[in-house]
């Protein structure tokens, strides 16, 4: 394979991101072990198959997932949906995931392969059916090499290649990467209102779009907190709606996108239910955790040089705040202006103006305020571009240049029509993005 | 002003497009004259102000327009809407248009300026109110320099700088250009069912997005055919829905986008009404004419190297065919793959899958066919990528490379769920696009 100078440059750049965003240690929930292996599906011999196992037997686990809304759903998405529905989110004890082949647009044979992955893990776990979720990412339109996958799964279990140390969690995170320049692994301890501690660990893979892959997004969150399956399902949808569904690299959505979560209840405390005191607090903790994980995907956006928070405030409705944040975040003109470090309020207003709102009253042209916000400690933090619908024609250009030169910055839009807020995270559109997605053939 | 080597390269490229797409002569409808002048609003002394005048007094003219749906509408859009509504599309005898300043996000003062442009022309034309439409394109958030505009309009009339020759039409077309690399002017003669000839002339300006401009699209069509104003309105909406609303450069929509049409009835023939024999035929002729004009805008897409027709066939509904064609046309991954000359059916399926359909039955994964079509005479014309939902894994890579190397090509999607067809026209996303929109500051 010919490696272009640009890809080498990109590889060199990725070292910085690795140092910045990959932890050296972590905290991991009780009652989980993980294993990863190089099955041979990835041609370069890298890790490409992983299994997360719940070892806690004291309670039945809860699981939930949010799947792609793309009409073309990959076989593993359909298989995992079936499993989750069959057991109503209860008793899921494993997630098996492979990279290198997305098992998408593979028809009935692909469905059989996805189901076979589930069966192989179920068998290794003791034979209970519907206890395993399956995910795949990589090339689409190709069958899985089931001999390699089968050998890999059996080897993981038969040689007991599972562990619960930092390196084990880092390795399984690496095994789901495709074009990611760094593995996305985070973990934190949280407290319940009663003082009880619990742990969240999350892994994600980002929007890797090198031909003929698509921008598959996978995210896993595991916790040792006991959460009722209906409550978990509600929390994960809430969190995903405010995290993984609020990021924009290029606006495309793949056939394989999946965010899933298992709560195994390995710590001894009262189960969190929808009507329990802890529900709101845990939901908020999971949401913020999911945001951190989702933001790492944007930081690894292909070719990107900037991480931009689009903060739409004081909207009549949350949905409209989000629609406007999304419209700005996906606008090619806004994204190229960010790359060009140009305080282009016109492009931002334009993207706001063509957003397809649910309620036209969310937007009042005479009330809108648009600013850039510096994310470092420099002052003034806020640079006003549009004030009550009127462009600020005396923008301090020098200050604008300073803020736009930052790697991290915020676009604040105050709609002034209500009190709802939504955030999106986006990156700039660069020549490098076009190079990666246009020049490369696998 | 520093001129970058890239912009010079682009200027050099534009010479080819000029030779290819700018006519050397034309046919023009009876009873119209046009004038253009350099008012001084454009700093480089180029033509920036034009007026189209209807000189036919034998009938009351009909006019219709389709305006931007952006929530932020520029003052000239609001002013023209008011004029058209006041006279219900009857008796419009002039269009005044300026480039260099879009008179957008300029509040009440901007409205007064737009109305003043209308008044100035009305006065010069004899004093009838509501007889002039106004359009502006260029920088947003700045007031029009009304002294220059006023002088320009008065000079055009007082020195009678109007004419009806090819050069006059070419000059007014040039006067609406901003970042366009060539003026977009077309004209043709057509026949009615009864053999009567009539003429259509069209001018457009394209998606020029250099900071802080936005992608303003302006289009004018004039004809000497008598068409009832209600019929004209219906025809223009039909045509725009199948032409200017079916092009994608970057998916952004400006505050100033306007397509308008005047039919002055200068030829002696029966007026075309909604229930007349000629209606369908004229509507189809205008639609095809508008498509030719709209396609020129895509051909001048910033930084683009390819002109791609996205042809979605056999859909259950027209709307869904169009939604799918639009989703493919706007996908950054599809557009970069086209630039990279990559037969990436996965990205096309992906964009189809996330299109927000009105009727889910329009898309059946097992019936979909996707092909690339060569637009030259080479064989085989059709390269099948997906057949009845199954990817063709034995694609002739050599033939794929040949087709993808063409400047013009077609993506054909056969949904197999009905009989409706929609087309979109798009261009590739190139490094040059990012350069133009990211690096340049005015």
**Architecture of A14-299 per CATH?**
4-Layer Sandwich (3.60)
* B48, B175 contact by CB (below 8 A): yes
Q: Mind giving me the DSSP string for A3-70?
A: --HHHHHHHHHHHHHHHHHS-S-----TTEEEEEE--SSSTT----EEEEEE---SS--EEEEEE---
| CB < 8 Å to A71, chain B | 352-355, 357, 360, 363, 365
- Are the Cβ atoms of A342 and B211 closer than 8 angstroms? yes
Q: Mind giving me the DSSP string for B259-287?
A: EEEEE---S-SPPB-TTSTTHHHHHHHHH
Q: How many CB pairs under 8 A join A and B?
A: 199
Q: In angstroms, rounded to a whole number, what is the distance separating the alpha carbons of residues A187 and A302?
A: 24
Å between B32 CA and nearest CA of chain A: 34
Token pair recorded at residue B406:
């063409």
Using the predicted structure, report yes or no on whether residue A393 has a pLDDT greater than 90.
no
Chain A CA closest to residue B357 = A71
Chain B CA closest to residue A208 = B333
| CB < 8 Å to B7, chain A | none
- At what angle are helices A107-124 and A75-86 packed, to 10 degrees? 50
Question: Do B22-299 and B307-439 have matching folds?
Answer: no
| CB < 8 Å to B354, chain A | 69-71, 252-253
Superfamily of domain B307-439: ArgJ beta chain, C-terminal domain (3.10.20.340)
Nearest Cβ partner for A438 among B337, B355, B360: B337
How big is chain A by its Cα radius of gyration, in Å?
Answer: 22
Q: Would the CA dihedral through B244, B249, B6, A399 be positive or negative? A: positive
Between the CA of residue A238 and those of A29, A133, A270, what are the distances in Å? Answer: 22, 21, 22
Query: Which conformational region is residue B88 in: left (phi greater than 0), alpha (psi within -120 to 50 degrees), or beta?
Result: left
Which residues have CB under 8 Å from A24's CB, separation 6+?
A166
Q: Residue A126's CB: how many other CB atoms inside 10 A?
A: 8
Between the CA of residue B3 and those of B11, B388, B440, B441, what are the distances in Å? Answer: 11, 51, 10, 11
The catalytic residues of A are 216
Q: Using CB atoms within 10 A of its CB, is residue B291 exposed (0-12), middle (13-18) or buried (19+)?
A: middle
Reduce the DSSP state of residue B243 to 3 states and report it.
coil
Between the CA of residue B302 and those of A191, A402, B139, what are the distances in Å? Answer: 53, 28, 17
Which of A75, A103, A105 to substitute to test the interface with B, most B CBs within 10 Å?
Answer: A105
pLDDT computed for residue B1 by the predictor: 34
- Are the Cβ atoms of A353 and B71 closer than 8 angstroms? yes
Which of A4, A109, A354 to substitute to test the interface with B, most B CBs within 10 Å?
Answer: A354
What mean pLDDT is predicted for residues A216-234?
96
ipTM greater than 0.85, yes or no? no
Helices (H), A159-244: 166-175, 229-241
pLDDT computed for residue B301 by the predictor: 80
A58-67 CB burial, b ≥16 within 10 A, e <16: ebbbbbbbbb
> Which backbone phi and psi does A348 adopt, to 5 degrees?
-70, -50
pLDDT computed for residue A9 by the predictor: 53
Residues in chain A: 442
- Are the Cβ atoms of B440 and A340 closer than 8 angstroms? yes
Reduce the DSSP state of residue B59 to 3 states and report it.
coil
CATH class of B22-299: alpha beta
* A136, A114 contact by CB (below 8 A): yes
* A133, A92 contact by CB (below 8 A): yes
Å between A206 CA and nearest CA of chain B: 15
- Are the Cβ atoms of A391 and B353 closer than 8 angstroms? no
Which of A70, A73, A333, A369 to substitute to test the interface with B, most B CBs within 10 Å?
Answer: A333
- Are the Cβ atoms of A350 and B253 closer than 8 angstroms? yes
- Are the Cβ atoms of B434 and A434 closer than 8 angstroms? yes
Q: In angstroms, rounded to a whole number, what is the distance separating the alpha carbons of residues B42 and B46?
A: 6
> Tens-of-pLDDT digits for all 442 residues of chain B?
344 455 445 444 545 788 889 999 999 999 999 999 999 999 999 999 999 999 999 999 999 999 988 888 999 999 999 999 999 999 999 999 999 999 998 999 999 999 999 999 999 999 999 999 999 998 888 899 999 999 999 999 999 999 999 999 999 999 999 888 899 999 999 999 999 999 999 999 986 543 334 467 899 999 999 999 999 999 999 999 999 999 887 667 788 889 999 999 999 999 999 999 899 999 999 999 999 999 999 888 877 889 999 999 999 999 999 999 999 998 888 888 898 888 888 889 988 988 989 999 999 989 999 999 999 989 999 999 999 998 888 888 889 889 999 999 999 999 999 999 999 999 888 887 777 777 543 3
pLDDT computed for residue B377 by the predictor: 86
Binding site as annotated, residues of B: 178, 205, 216, 302, 437, 442
Mean pLDDT of chain A: 90
Binding site as annotated, residues of B for substrate: 178, 205, 216, 302, 437, 442
Break chain B into its structural domains and give their ranges: 22-299, 307-439
Token pair recorded at residue B62:
């009909």
Parallel, antiparallel, or unpaired: how do β-strands B307-315 and B420-427 relate?
A: antiparallel
Which residues have CB under 8 Å from A115's CB, separation 6+?
A79
The catalytic residues of B are 216
- At what angle are helices A345-353 and A332-339 packed, to 10 degrees? 160
**Greatest C-alpha distance within chain B:** 70
> Which backbone phi and psi does A295 adopt, to 5 degrees?
-65, -30
What mean pLDDT is predicted for residues A122-130?
97
* B87, B61 contact by CB (below 8 A): no
pLDDT computed for residue A395 by the predictor: 86
């Amino acid at each position: 394979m010919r490696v272009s100078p640009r890809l080498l440059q990109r590889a060199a750049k990725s070292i910085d991101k690795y140092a910045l965003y990959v932890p050296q240690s972590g905290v991991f929930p009780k009652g989980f072990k993980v294993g990863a292996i190089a099955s041979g599906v990835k041609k370069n011999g890298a890790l490409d198959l992983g299994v997360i196992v719940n070892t806690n037997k004291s309670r039945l686990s809860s699981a939930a997932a949010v799947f792609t809304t793309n009409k073309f759903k990959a076989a593993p998405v359909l298989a995992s949906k079936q499993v989750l529905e069959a057991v109503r989110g209860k008793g899921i004890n494993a997630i098996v995931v492979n990279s290198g082949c997305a098992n998408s647009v593979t028809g009935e044979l692909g469905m059989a392969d996805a189901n076979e992955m589930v069966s192989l893990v179920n068998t290794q776990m003791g034979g209970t059916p519907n206890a395993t979720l399956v995910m795949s990412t990589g090339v689409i339109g190709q069958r899985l090499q089931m001999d390699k996958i089968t050998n890999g799964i059996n080897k993981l279990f038969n040689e007991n290649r599972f562990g619960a140390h930092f390196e084990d969690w880092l390795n399984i995170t690496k095994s789901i990467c495709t074009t990611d320049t760094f593995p996305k692994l985070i973990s934190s301890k949280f407290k319940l209102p009663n003082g009880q501690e619990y742990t969240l660990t999350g892994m994600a893979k980002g929007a890797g779009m090198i031909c003929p892959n698509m921008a598959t997004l996978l995210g896993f969150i595991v916790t040792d907190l006991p959460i009722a399956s209906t409550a978990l399902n509600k929390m994960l949808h809430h969190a995903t709606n405010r995290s993984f569904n609020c990021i924009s690299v290029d606006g495309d959505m793949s056939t394989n996108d999946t965010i899933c979560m298992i709560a195994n209840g390995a710590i001894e405390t009262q189960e969190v239910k929808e009507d329990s005191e802890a529900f709101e607090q845990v939901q908020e903790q999971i949401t913020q955790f999911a945001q951190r994980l989702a933001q790492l995907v944007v930081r690894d956006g292909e070719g990107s040089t900037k991480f931009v928070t689009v903060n739409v405030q004081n909207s009549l409705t949350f949905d409209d705040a989000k629609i406007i944040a999304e419209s700005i975040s996906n606008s090619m003109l806004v994204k190229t202006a960010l790359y060009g470090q140009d305080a282009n309020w016109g492009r931002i207003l334009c993207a706001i103006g063509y957003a397809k709102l649910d309620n036209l009253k969310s937007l009042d042209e005479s009330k809108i305020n648009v600013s850039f916000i510096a994310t470092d400690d420099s002052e003034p933090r806020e640079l006003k571009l549009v004030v009550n619908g009127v462009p600020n024609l005396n923008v301090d250009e020098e200050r604008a240049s300073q803020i736009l030169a930052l790697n991290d910055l915020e676009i604040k839009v105050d709609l002034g029509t209500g009190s709802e807020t939504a955030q999106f995270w986006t990156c700039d559109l660069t020549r490098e993005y076009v190079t990666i997605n246009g020049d490369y053939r696998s």
